[in-house]
Amino acid sequence: MVHVVDPFAAEPLHLSSRRTLYLRLHGSPPGKRMYSYTYTDEDLRWLERFLRRHEFSRAYVMFNNVYMRDDAQNFMRLLRENYLSP
């Protein structure tokens, strides 16, 4: 079982011994309107640090907002720059 969660809204539960993570990002940091938010570089750096800190064996990150394509490409660029495999 995998807990699907937006890490900007809540900390994921670790239910899998294999430590697989699946994140759905709806573009709604606290106080913002859901889906119509563009993730900033600061947001994406926070997300990268989150993934590093928890050391998941596998992580899936789904951007489910209006700007999903751009946000996903920016996040992949950031991961490549910091030597993580997107």
| Contact (Cβ atoms closer than 8 angstroms) between residue 71 and residue 33 | no
Q: What is the residue-level pLDDT of the chain in tens, covering all 86 positions?
A: 666 777 887 877 765 556 778 888 988 766 567 788 899 999 999 999 988 887 778 888 999 999 999 999 999 999 998 876 65
Q: Give this prediction's pTM.
A: 0.79
